[in-house]
Amino acid sequence: MICILLAFCLHFSCIFLAFFFSLLSGIAFKSPTGNRHPVNHKTQSFYLFSTLKLRMFKIGFVKLGNIATSTAIDLALDEIAERTDIEFKIVSFGPKMTKKEGEASAELKAWGPQLVVISSPNAATAGPTTAREIFKGIPTIVISDGPTKKEARDALAQEGFGYIILPVDPLIGAKREFLDPAEMALFNSDALKVLAACGGIRLVQEELDRAMTAIAAGEAKLPTILATPEKCAERMNFQNPYARAKAIGALYMAQTVATIDAAACFRLKELEQIALAAAAGHEVMRAAGRLADESRELEKAGDSVSRKPHARTGELMKKTKLLEKPEKI
Amino acid sequence: MICILLAFCLHFSCIFLAFFFSLLSGIAFKSPTGNRHPVNHKTQSFYLFSTLKLRMFKIGFVKLGNIATSTAIDLALDEIAERTDIEFKIVSFGPKMTKKEGEASAELKAWGPQLVVISSPNAATAGPTTAREIFKGIPTIVISDGPTKKEARDALAQEGFGYIILPVDPLIGAKREFLDPAEMALFNSDALKVLAACGGIRLVQEELDRAMTAIAAGEAKLPTILATPEKCAERMNFQNPYARAKAIGALYMAQTVATIDAAACFRLKELEQIALAAAAGHEVMRAAGRLADESRELEKAGDSVSRKPHARTGELMKKTKLLEKPEKI
Amino acid sequence: MICILLAFCLHFSCIFLAFFFSLLSGIAFKSPTGNRHPVNHKTQSFYLFSTLKLRMFKIGFVKLGNIATSTAIDLALDEIAERTDIEFKIVSFGPKMTKKEGEASAELKAWGPQLVVISSPNAATAGPTTAREIFKGIPTIVISDGPTKKEARDALAQEGFGYIILPVDPLIGAKREFLDPAEMALFNSDALKVLAACGGIRLVQEELDRAMTAIAAGEAKLPTILATPEKCAERMNFQNPYARAKAIGALYMAQTVATIDAAACFRLKELEQIALAAAAGHEVMRAAGRLADESRELEKAGDSVSRKPHARTGELMKKTKLLEKPEKI
Amino acid sequence: MICILLAFCLHFSCIFLAFFFSLLSGIAFKSPTGNRHPVNHKTQSFYLFSTLKLRMFKIGFVKLGNIATSTAIDLALDEIAERTDIEFKIVSFGPKMTKKEGEASAELKAWGPQLVVISSPNAATAGPTTAREIFKGIPTIVISDGPTKKEARDALAQEGFGYIILPVDPLIGAKREFLDPAEMALFNSDALKVLAACGGIRLVQEELDRAMTAIAAGEAKLPTILATPEKCAERMNFQNPYARAKAIGALYMAQTVATIDAAACFRLKELEQIALAAAAGHEVMRAAGRLADESRELEKAGDSVSRKPHARTGELMKKTKLLEKPEKI
Amino acid sequence: MICILLAFCLHFSCIFLAFFFSLLSGIAFKSPTGNRHPVNHKTQSFYLFSTLKLRMFKIGFVKLGNIATSTAIDLALDEIAERTDIEFKIVSFGPKMTKKEGEASAELKAWGPQLVVISSPNAATAGPTTAREIFKGIPTIVISDGPTKKEARDALAQEGFGYIILPVDPLIGAKREFLDPAEMALFNSDALKVLAACGGIRLVQEELDRAMTAIAAGEAKLPTILATPEKCAERMNFQNPYARAKAIGALYMAQTVATIDAAACFRLKELEQIALAAAAGHEVMRAAGRLADESRELEKAGDSVSRKPHARTGELMKKTKLLEKPEKI
Amino acid sequence: MICILLAFCLHFSCIFLAFFFSLLSGIAFKSPTGNRHPVNHKTQSFYLFSTLKLRMFKIGFVKLGNIATSTAIDLALDEIAERTDIEFKIVSFGPKMTKKEGEASAELKAWGPQLVVISSPNAATAGPTTAREIFKGIPTIVISDGPTKKEARDALAQEGFGYIILPVDPLIGAKREFLDPAEMALFNSDALKVLAACGGIRLVQEELDRAMTAIAAGEAKLPTILATPEKCAERMNFQNPYARAKAIGALYMAQTVATIDAAACFRLKELEQIALAAAAGHEVMRAAGRLADESRELEKAGDSVSRKPHARTGELMKKTKLLEKPEKI
């Protein structure tokens, strides 16, 4: 009986302490006007909590609507669900991404996330824009396929948001004349294949890991990246340059998909044209998936697939040969 | 100190209010003991609200951990985000699916969902089990790759849960020796391709649509389905029997993946064996993805791909030829 | 000064002589029955000389530099070399396409072509521009991958030129760091596959056939076409809409190749970047070739490949089933 | 009579003028240091004009009818159109290759080519034979798919012609019952893919480069090669022996195509048989194209694709790794 | 000397005894009703015993050495092992096929086969020739890849043998420098795929079925067929003419394999040349296997795969749609 | 009675004579150095007769019914038919495998095999069981796809039989509703491809070679192996671990085929279900064949295909690079 009581006490004390420190740190980092001392928590460590392991990092996701990256973004931070340094909370309203959902995402605030990730198609639309307003003040990274224009991106940065704009995560052929649930999932499958094999997913994951580490270390350095084909492919550490070229090619094809599907979604008016354009876009996506697959197969041929799993402690590890052990970077 | 106190007060008030309203609405629609007239809304209509459009149907999702179905499940109910009869709320904790996350999913209750879907790997584990306990009383459907045994499934049904068990949505090779974020996403991509092309996604989507319609009509008829390869393939309305056979084959291969990956995850102990088994599992998944793709290409060859998009009103439509208009079923 | 004058004199004398002899030979060989009135022969007929067979139509080609269309353009007008109504003369300087070659193409004039086709990369460059000036006055059609801008195309038309601009016949990755003769030929092979399977070649061929018929009938109606993916694909009379969508997709991919290769050729400066970009461009071209092949295979699956061979008399015939006879259209 | 005389005069004056100006420009641009002794220029050098840069080498092509090699032969000598040591002139009559076109090719003589290349199907037919007679005395290389018999080839050599007979550049299925412009271009695409990936194009290009160098050096050593699969494949410097075996296999398949298509073109009489045989021939060509592609992909897997681009000065360079610089051989 | 004499005596005694017992057993088992008049039972029936079911037909196989057809030949007559009208006996000596094995095949005689099938590579070699001599007098069909020459085949027929010569069942690359057990089996797999998908197996099976029926009916009509690509493909009742063309193409490729492998086996002397040629031959075989597979996939696309299973009674049935019932022909 | 006695006498005399002559020949040809003591010859040597070359090893095969391994098993021991140390005799009854055929296999005994191999589907059925009883006492190895259960296998071993159970050599879809001779051969082709490329054939061949050596050396050590995917793949000495993983995956897929086909053969009752299941099983087999092919292609990419040909003397040799010589192990 007593030990249970004791456990309860400890439990509450812990929570209290956690709360206390979070308050402290909250004051320390987030209050733009207060006197902070960045010097104190500027650490060398890349990974979370190598010096401070009081509590887990709280990362919150607001997922609005459908982009392929969204379906893997949180899983990519803890692919075997063994990290002990990180806590997730995802808020989503499924396919919906209007202003209403943007507002409803406010509920994530109560959880006290240290980093918020807002992923959605076109971040310039009402829903994501509303969401961003809500999380102003909290370190927030926008992940989307647009806006791609420099001015629009700079505006995001000036408002204090980090961003990773992925034009390689293309618009789906979202017309009732063509798209049904199965076709939607197939498109996401192909898009995800390209993003995963060619570096898009890794770029996002590494940047989120890096941002978390920075925040934990007291420096809110958020990424501001336009994820071009070249930048994505660079992350995959291809050993075979043809594998890299294929990956770059597949990512360019994904961008082409966006162009074709945009016509289907916004410009064309007749059933036949819409269906053909959307189908053409999805065929290109599928072809891109195969080129991405070919890229990876080339690396398999040389037993040089780069893998970067997370250690239990959250650090990134790496391995290249299939039968070798992952090692801390 | 005071502001913290205030925050607590506000918090509780909110919860209270939410509860209050949900009670109200509960009385109106759901209270089994209250004076409702099932006769009135027992309609012939399969789809939601064809006669009654008072408000949108509220479907809540608790997504615990990583199965491929989870990445498409909500999007599949409103693939172009134009339905006006349905509202979504998703609660997730990313890859995490322990008891703690199971408990945390309770927060969905406040929203007053009319149907809760709990998707996760192996529903027999602690996290999903805890979540189920929380939602007892609310119509709840379990979506998972297990348990597959009849007794375990019957137990679920006896507790009042609906379920769709998909052994065709297989366990990933979740070992640090093999899996990294990119490989995880690739596996999900392949699994999703099989599920989407071969009927798994459609089965889930149709059952959820059906359950929502039933609930809206006052009859909480929940699905209790073991989604075998044959049952999934049946849903795709294949015109070409070889396409159907390929789909069935691909789904069986997905089940084989589960066997291989289970060895990698739970039974094997040495790096080499683990890495080889996990890699073999993922190769079979990839081969299954290609067979699924072949299946769909065969249907394309006959211009007989079955598509079932949602109308704006939520009804399912269908079309077979690419250049024909979708029609209400 | 004097020598230039002399050259001019010589030039004109040559042309005069050539003309004189061609007249003579025309009388001698081709009009066995004697006095006819070329002025009258404005006929309704689409094909050449169905009513009037005075002599063979003389079509001259100036091929400057390397585009894939050039390698098939003349052969496409008489694919089994049995037409009795048409005569070809091609002038080319191989890969070279500077002003000098543009000027040298003048020699074709002496032959007295009734229609001149100038094919080259970017028709806005010096060589093709010079060539056009030379053939002003003679019905001339420009075939190139650019200029694509409307104003530039309109300018061509205003100068009296017909044009078929094919952005789907993309720039090659013409950098010594990547391209060698084998790679050049492989790229042309892939580009030609896309153009041939997806309608580009047929569009050009039909337009040239049509222009010749018009000229022979006394109306110099020249095509002014921007050959978009959609317009090309339309020409292939696909029976299977997925085959058509794949063709459109492949053609869009070809356009993407142009973008990538342009970076390699004109923008990038370092060996690694150039080689990667050029290789990526060629990988996309290769992937487009495969998608084009898939498109055709789908039509084979339905035994619905559209074929349009030339009759001996030059008329276009058509057949759809492999084992049926071609028939006059 | 007089006008002919006049024409001759004019002609010679033209040539004189051309020569005069070329001399001038030679002096002006290329020999900054002045007095050199052309007499000495029998050099060991493999490449053109390393010691003597008075003028560019003039290579003339007579292209009669359709073989795949023809579509790449001149481009292969200057793949990025930057060589400063070579001048091209191509004379062609499109698909036509009768005696008449053979005779008409005489006009190339006026240009004063130092080497003439006559490419055509079956060099034993009337057109090519006539053309050869015209160019007797000028170094001339015959490029064709036949004759393959030793005696016939020896006869060519005894008449002083060089030759490269490529049985691997097969006869097309040239029957109206099957072939249309699109199918023709597809066949050429596949044939070119095999020739390019497996060494046929390189063999031709290297031999032409070598012959030009020899002629420039005063020794008219012309190639006399029956380009068997083995000899072609040898030129590609395959590092991976399976890539080489696949290339050899693909080239043998190309030869098989010739056999099948010959039946379709010359032996079979009924529509069904002709169409089936021609289609079978083209299917084998397509399969050969894929095997050729596989061969190259194997080399990509080892980053060992041999590339031999031309330097601006015309020398052959080589590189093996994609990201390395080409170097002079 | 004496021991040889003795051996001979023993040998003959053995044969005599065997013959004696076989006679006895023949009487005992097979003709329960006694005196039959073979002359009478000339029936119209194509299939065995539709009117007369007195006993099972005895078909004996002598399999000498390795051709792909051998591995399926007997199974093809009773693919699900349910025929009640036929008895098999196979005699083989594995890979061996010298004169010795030819002689040893005599033991089959004792069984009293009504039809003997001798399958082997090149039937003109010593082993098969010896075997044929042994079975003279008994209806015997030779199945081999050679001899293909008309005279040699006519000679076979004149000696009373039936034959099916399959140049499409090609020589393996039987050199220790290349072939090992795995490679041998892979080659057989590919060859069998071509033979099975393109009609070779069906041709053999139908002819054997027909011959058995004829023999049972008292007419020893044996096949004398040179199984060309066209003849094989005809048997598959392709509905899609492109599928048929692909099958013909694949069979021609198989013949090409024989040419390449013959060089490896008999003409080339150096390790490198042998290994490359044998590997090239096997690559072409593999490519042929894929083309054969493509052919069948085209038929699957139209749900028009022709199937001809045996009824329990031995009659051939047929079906075309996958989900339809087989029916007697 | 007397004649039987006589037959026996004759039989024994024959054997004696054969032995006598083989002794003579052994002395004459193979033992140049003379007197050796067969009694002592328990040697360490793995291969046959390295010390003792008195006579050839006699291996007998009883092949009952259809498994893919059977079609290659004897050929695999002497792939180019040049071994001088081994003699084969195969007894088979084609597809039939009932008790009757089991009994009839007794005739092999007369030949005096030193090792008997009984290959068949499911060794627990009547035919194979009967055959085993017959050969009790003679070293006998059972090769089959079952029984897989440990007890059943142990029972075999306890009766003194060796066994290699290959669950990776799966049941065919043996229903008249689906299987015809062509489909049967195609299935065998795919199954053989998997077995050959992934190690099944090599495992069997090495074990038979090993057993023969052991028996020749006086130790009848027979294999007792359940040939799991992992054990098979191990034999192929893959250098590339992804090739190995693919091989393992393909073999697991083959096992899946067995499950699917078992349903088709034994459990399902309706035409449609049977045809679909059998077709699905065969599609998975085909997909497994392609994955096996991919595995081998990966090894080709590294020029690391392991080959283990037999020397003329029967010893296993090995080579890895295509252009290197095989060497004794």
Q: Which of F16, F66, F175, F176 best probes binding to E when mutated, by most E CB atoms within 10 angstroms?
A: F176
Which residues are within 8 A (CB) of E142 and not within 5 positions of it... i.e. 6 or more apart?
Answer: E118, E119, E123, E128, E132, E156, E161, E162, E163, E164, E165
Q: Which partners does chain E have (≥3 C-beta pairs < 8 Å)?
A: B, C, D, F
Other beta carbons within 10 Å of A158: 8
Does B81 sit within 8 Å of A181, measured CB to CB?
A: no
Contact between E55 and E84 (Cβ < 8 Å): no
Integer Cα distance of F90 and F118 in angstroms? 10
**Exposure string (b/e) for B71-93, b if CB count within 10 Å is 16 or more?**
bbbbbbbbbbbbbebbbbbbbbb
Task: Tell me the chain F residues in contact with residue B177 when contact means C-beta distances shorter than 8 Å.
Answer: none
Question: Phi, psi at residue E224, to the nearest 5°?
Answer: -135, 85
- Best residue in D67, D80, D108, D198 to probe C by mutation, most C CBs within 10 Å? D80
CA distance C216 to C223: 15
The pLDDT assigned to F54 comes to 56
Tell me the backbone φ, ψ of residue E114, rounded to 5 degrees: -85, -25
Reported as a single tens digit per residue, the pLDDT across F18-74 is 444 444 444 434 333 433 333 333 334 444 544 444 589 999 999 999 999 999 999
Contact yes or no, F with C (3+ CB pairs under 8 Å): no
Chains linked to C by 3 or more Cβ pairs within 8 Å: A, B, D, E
Q: Which residues of E touch C (CB under 8 A)?
A: 240-242, 245, 294, 298, 301-302
pLDDT at C83: 97
Contacts of F317 in chain E (CB under 8 A): 176
Phi then psi for A97, rounded to 5 degrees? -155, 35
Question: Which residues of chain B neighbour A176 with C-beta distances below 8 Å?
Answer: 80, 82, 309-311, 317, 326
Q: Does D touch F (3+ CB pairs < 8 Å)?
A: yes
Residue B108 has pLDDT above 80, yes or no: yes
Q: Is E101 helix (H, G, I), strand (E, B) or coil?
A: helix
Closest CA to E110 of E89, E132, E136: E89
User: Quick one: how many helices (H) and strands (E) in chain E?
Assistant: 9, 8
Interchain proximity A240–D301, CB inside 8 Å: yes
Quick: pLDDT tens for D190-244.
Answer: 999 999 999 999 999 999 999 999 999 998 799 999 999 999 999 999 999 999 9
Distance of CA B31 to the CA centre of its chain: 26
Q: Residue C143: in which H helix or E strand, if any? A: strand C140-144
Per-residue pLDDT reduced to its tens digit, A22-50: 444 444 444 344 333 333 333 344 445 44
Q: What residues have CB less than 8 Å from F94, skipping those under 6 apart?
A: E61, E74, E75, E77, E78, E88, E89, E90
Residues of chain F contacting residue E177, judged by C-beta atoms under 8 Å apart? 325-326
Q: For residue C243, give the amino acid letter.
A: A
Q: Which residue of A has its CA nearest to F246?
A: A300
Helices (H), B146-199: 150-158, 181-198
Q: Which residues of F touch B (CB under 8 A)?
A: 229-230, 241-242, 244-246, 248-250, 252-253, 255-256, 259-260, 273, 275-277, 279-284, 287-288, 290-291
* A296, A322 contact by CB (below 8 A): no
> F60 φ, ψ to 5°?
-110, 145
> How many other C-beta atoms are found inside a 10 Å radius of the C-beta of residue E97?
26
Backbone phi, psi, residue E327, to 5°: -125, 150
Greater confidence (C39 vs D10) lies with D10
- Answer whether residue D173 shows pLDDT above 80: yes
User: Inter-chain contact B240–E323, Cβ cutoff 8 Å?
Assistant: no
Rounded CA separation C141/C128 (Å): 11
pLDDT higher than threshold 90 for residue D327: yes
Pairing mode, strands F327-328 and F317-318: antiparallel
Residues of B in contact with F293 (CB under 8 A): none
The CA distance from C132 to C130, in Å, is 5
Residues of D in CB contact (< 8 Å) with E are 229-230, 241-242, 244-246, 248-250, 252-253, 255-256, 259-260, 273, 275-277, 279-281, 283-284, 287-288, 290-291
Contacts of E78 in chain F (CB under 8 A): 94-96
Tokens standing for residue E138: 């008994």
Judge contact between C223 and C207, C-beta under 8 A.
Answer: yes
Q: E146-155 long-range CB contacts below 8 Å, 24 or more apart?
A: E146/E121, E146/E122, E147/E122, E147/E123, E148/E226, E152/E124, E153/E224, E153/E226
Contact state of C242 with A279 under an 8 Å Cβ cutoff:
yes
> Residues of chain F whose C-beta is under 8 A from some C-beta in D?
297, 300-303, 305, 321-323
In whole angstroms, what is the distance from residue C211 CA to residue C214 CA?
Answer: 5
Average pLDDT, chain A: 88
Facing B283 at nearest CB: one of F230, F246, F275? F246
Name residue E117's beta-bridge partners: E61, E141
CB D189 within 8 A of CB D278: no
Q: Of all residues in chain B, what percent carry a pLDDT higher than 90? A: 82
Query: Which residue, among B294, A277, D286, has the nearest Cα to C246 in the 3D structure?
Result: A277
Q: Residue E323: which of F175, F195, F272 has the nearest Cβ?
A: F272
**CA–CA gap between residue A149 and residue A158 (Å, rounded):** 14
Contacts of A253 in chain C (CB under 8 A): 253, 256, 284, 287
Averaged pLDDT for residues B90-104: 97
Helix (H) or strand (E) holding E192: helix E181-198
Test mutation, F239, F242, F291, F304, chain A, max A CBs within 10 A: F242
In angstroms, the CA F218 to CA B245 distance is: 52
Name residue F140's beta-bridge partners: F116
How many of the other CB atoms lie within 10 Å of CB of F55? 19
Distance, in angstroms, between B107 CA and closest chain C CA?
46
Nearest to D225, CA basis, from D60, D109, D69: D69
Instruction: Say how many C-beta atoms besides its own lie within 10 A of residue F224's C-beta.
Output: 17
Kindly report the average pLDDT of chain F as a whole number: 88
D160: alpha, beta or left? (left if phi > 0; alpha if psi -120 to 50) = left
Q: Count Cβ atoms below 10 Å from residue B239 Cβ, excluding itself.
A: 16
**Residue contact B280–F241, C-beta within 8 A:** no
> What is the C-alpha to C-alpha distance for residues E313 and E300, in angstroms, rounded to an integer?
28
Nearest to E99 by CA among E74, E68, E126, E59: E126
Q: Give the count of Cβ contacts less than 8 A between chain E and F.
A: 263
| Digitized pLDDT (tens) for each residue of chain E, 329 residues in all | 444 444 444 454 444 444 444 444 444 343 334 333 333 333 344 445 444 445 899 999 999 999 999 999 999 999 999 999 999 999 999 999 999 999 999 999 999 999 999 999 999 999 999 999 999 999 999 999 999 999 999 999 999 999 999 999 999 999 999 999 999 999 999 999 999 999 999 999 999 999 999 999 998 799 999 999 999 999 999 999 999 999 999 999 999 999 999 999 999 999 999 999 999 999 999 999 999 999 999 999 999 999 999 999 999 999 999 999 999 99
Per-residue pLDDT, F55 = 80
| Relative orientation angle of helices A271-301 and C241-262, to the nearest 10 degrees | 60
pTM for the full model? 0.88
Q: Single out the residue of D84, D90, D52, D86 nearest to residue D71, CA to CA.
A: D90
User: Which residues touch D263 (CB under 8 Å, ≥6 apart)?
Assistant: D277
Cα(E111)–Cα(C40) distance, integer angstroms: 90
What radius of gyration do chain D's Cα atoms show? 21
What is the DSSP track for E219-251? -----EEE--HHHHHHHTT-SSHHHHHHHHHHH
Nearest beta carbon to residue E76 from set F92, F184, F293: F184
Residues of C in contact with B321 (CB under 8 A): 241
Please check the confidence at residue D282 and state whether its pLDDT lies above 60.
yes
pLDDT in tens, B229-261: 999 999 999 999 999 999 999 999 999 999 999
Maximum CA pair distance of chain B? 71
What is the rounded distance in angstroms from the CA atom of residue E278 to the CA atom of residue E178? 7
- CB contact (8 A) between residue D245 and residue F322: yes
Give all chains having 3 or more CB-to-CB distances under 8 Å with chain D.
A, C, E, F
Tokens of D82: 């930057």
CB spacing of A253 vs C229 below 8 angstroms: no
C318 within 8 A of C307, measured Cβ to Cβ? yes
The count of CB pairs under 8 A between chains D and E is 88
Give the type of residue at F24: L
Give the model's confidence band at D54: pLDDT under 50 very low, under 70 low, under 90 confident, else very high. Answer: low
CA dist., res. B142 & res. B157, Å (int) = 10
Residue A141, helix vs strand vs coil: strand
Among the listed residues E254, E119, E279, E136, the one whose alpha carbon sits nearest the alpha carbon of residue E193: E254
Structure tokens at B234: 């049946």
Q: E262-293, pLDDT tens digit by residue?
A: 999 999 999 999 999 999 999 999 999 999 99
Average pLDDT over residues B1-27: 45
Is chain A in touch with chain E: ≥3 Cβ pairs within 8 A? no
Q: Which amino acid is at B201?
A: I
A-C Cβ pairs (cutoff 8 Å, strict): 87
Name the band, by pLDDT with cuts 50, 70 and 90, for residue D27: very low
Tell me the shortest Cα–Cα distance from D40 to chain C, in angstroms: 30
Who among C241, C276, C290 is closest to A245 (CB)?
C276
- Which subunits sit against B, judged by 3+ Cβ pairs under 8 A? A, C, E, F
List helix spans (H) across chain B: 2-25, 38-41, 99-104, 126-135, 150-158, 181-198, 200-216, 229-235, 241-262, 271-301
Probe site for chain D from E168, E193, E198, E253 (most D CB atoms < 10 A): E253
E287 CB-near residues (< 8 Å, 6+ apart): D249, D250, D253, D287, D288, D290, D291, E253
F313 touches F296 (CB < 8 A) = no
Contact assignment for D279 to E242 by CB distance below 8 Å: yes
Using 50 as the pLDDT threshold, list the residues of chain C that sit under it: 1-10, 13-47, 49-53
